[in-house]
């Protein structure tokens, strides 16, 4: 008898488990209820993102910036009627500066206590299709990240579906633009026979800029890319002046990082960078001495760089 009861319990547990899995499938994620959406610039009509989950296509046409005005057209397919189930559509956008309302209905789907000025609109679950427009402004972002434009919530507040898009900061867009330019220049250097030492230095600074981005230091990353020159690069037949050029650029790049870190990072990391920079200054002193025996102009330039670095670290 005990064995029979145990078997019955296990069968019941299995049925409940499968029922729970079936109930939670598609509980959150684009395409479960929201079958289409379009994000555009409301002033120009320029499309930014278009998605059609019936055909399985998502087109990211243009970046969506922080503090940008957007219009979102949403299509929701309700497959089954449940007259006592109240669903909510919530936007997380900030108020629009060009539209007074958040919502504009585009078809006759019945709503419950509809208020276009409210961030939330409600409707009872009734088989059919709801097409609605949403207006608002993307929030201020400290770092680029996915942002939920709108969410469809069930009667207990559970997320049934949502629309998420990548919101880009102005600094990140600037970094990406400059980084692509520098990458293209790097490839032209490789194809044009530029000296391997310069290419290695160039690649190191590109890599360091990505590290700065990963740590959230976009200003430092952009400043680092600004140290990379795209003119007068050394070719394979390297001269003494070009040998001097490599450490000089490295020191100037380090200076840029120090300035960025002074504003962005904590004192502990700044102190570490300053100690490293002091070692570079001592190397630069030896380089300046050797250069003075060959070219006084180069020596004077290096001396000026050295003095500026000393003033920064307080030597």
- Secondary structure (DSSP) of 76-136: EEE-S-EEEEEEEEEE-PBPPSS-S-SEEE-S----BS--TTSSEEEEEE-SEEEEEEEEE
pLDDT category at 210 given cuts 50, 70, 90 is: confident
pLDDT value at residue 95: 97
Tokens of 159: 């997320």
Q: Is 228 among the domain residues?
A: yes
pLDDT value at residue 149: 96
In the numeric block, the tokens 């070009």 are attached to 242
Q: Is 16 among the domain residues?
A: no
pLDDT category at 29 given cuts 50, 70, 90 is: low
Name which of 304, 302, 306 is nearest 244 in CA terms: 302
Phi, psi of 237 (to 5 degrees): -80, 85
pLDDT value at residue 221: 81
Neighbouring residues of 256: CB distance < 8 A, sequence distance ≥ 6: 220, 223, 224, 226, 227
Phi, psi of 57 (to 5 degrees): -120, 135
Are 215 and 277 in a shared domain?
yes
pLDDT value at residue 195: 72
Question: Which residue among 168, 193, 212 closes a domain?
Answer: 168
Cα–Cα distance measured from residue 135 to residue 146, given in angstroms and rounded to the nearest whole number:
18
Q: Is 161 among the domain residues?
A: yes
Domain range for 263 is: 171-313
34: pLDDT strictly greater than 90:
yes
Question: Which residue among 120, 145, 168 closes a domain?
Answer: 168
pLDDT value at residue 77: 96
Neighbouring residues of 290: CB distance < 8 A, sequence distance ≥ 6: none
Are 198 and 159 in a shared domain?
no
Q: Is 3 among the domain residues?
A: no
Q: What DSSP element (H or E) covers 13? A: helix 2-24
pLDDT tens by residue, 161-171: 999 999 988 78
Residues 232-247, mean pLDDT to the nearest whole number: 50
pLDDT tens by residue, 284-300: 666 666 656 555 655 56
Name which of 311, 312, 314, 310 is nearest 284 in CA terms: 310
In the numeric block, the tokens 């998605």 are attached to 51
Are 202 and 226 in a shared domain?
yes
Coil vs helix vs strand at 249? helix
Phi, psi of 104 (to 5 degrees): -140, 120
What DSSP assignment string belongs to 124-188?
A: EE-SEEEEEEEEEEPPP-SS-EEEEEEEEE-TTS-EEEEEEEEEE-HHHHHHHHHHHHHHHHHHH
Are 152 and 190 in a shared domain?
no
Are 308 and 180 in a shared domain?
yes
Q: Is 1 among the domain residues?
A: no
pLDDT tens by residue, 127-153: 999 999 999 999 988 777 899 999 999
Question: Which residue among 168, 188, 223 closes a domain?
Answer: 168
Cβ atoms of residues 83 and 141 within 8 Å: no
- Into how many domains does the chain fold? 2
Cα–Cα distance measured from residue 172 to residue 220, given in angstroms and rounded to the nearest whole number:
12
Strands across the sheet containing 120-125: 64-65, 159-168, 145-153, 82-91, 120-125
270: pLDDT strictly greater than 80:
no
Are 277 and 184 in a shared domain?
yes
Are 175 and 302 in a shared domain?
yes
Are 164 and 222 in a shared domain?
no
pLDDT tens by residue, 184-198: 888 888 888 777 777
Q: Is 220 among the domain residues?
A: yes
**Out of 104-113, 151-160, 194-203, which region has the weakest mean confidence (pLDDT)?**
194-203
């Amino acid at each position: 008898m005990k064995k029979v009861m145990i078997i019955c319990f296990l069968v019941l547990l299995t049925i409940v488990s499968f029922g729970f899995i079936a109930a939670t499938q598609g509980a959150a994620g684009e395409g479960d209820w929201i079958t289409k959406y379009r994000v555009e610039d409301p002033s120009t009509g320029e499309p930014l993102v278009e998605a059609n989950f019936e055909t399985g296509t998502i087109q990211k046409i243009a970046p969506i910036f922080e503090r940008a005005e957007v219009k979102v057209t949403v299509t929701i397919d309700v497959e089954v009627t449940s007259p006592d189930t109240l669903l909510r559509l919530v936007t997380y956008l900030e108020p629009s500066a060009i539209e007074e309302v958040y919502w504009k209905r585009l078809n006759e789907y019945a709503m419950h206590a509809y208020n276009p000025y409210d961030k939330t609109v409600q409707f009872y679950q009734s088989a059919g299709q709801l097409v609605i427009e949403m207006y608002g402004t993307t929030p201020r972002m400290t770092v680029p990240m996915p942002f939920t434009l709108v969410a469809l919530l069930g009667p207990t507040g559970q997320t049934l579906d949502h629309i998420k898009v990548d919101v880009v900061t102005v600094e990140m867009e600037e970094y990406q633009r400059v980084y692509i330019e520098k990458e293209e220049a790097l490839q032209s250097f490789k194809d044009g026979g530029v000296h391997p030492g310069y290419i290695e230095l160039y690649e190191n600074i590109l890599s360091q800029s990505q590290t700065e981005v990963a740590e959230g230091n976009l200003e430092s990353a952009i400043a680092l890319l600004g140290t990379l020159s795209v003119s007068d690069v050394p070719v394979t037949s390297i001269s003494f002046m070009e040998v001097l050029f490599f450490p000089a650029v490295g020191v100037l790049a380090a200076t840029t990082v120090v300035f960025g870190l002074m504003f962005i990072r904590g004192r502990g990391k700044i102190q570490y960078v300053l100690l490293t920079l002091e070692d570079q200054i001592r190397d630069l002193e030896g380089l300046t001495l050797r250069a003075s025996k060959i070219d006084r102009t180069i020596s004077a330039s290096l001396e000026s760089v050295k003095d500026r670095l000393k003033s920064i670290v307080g030597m």
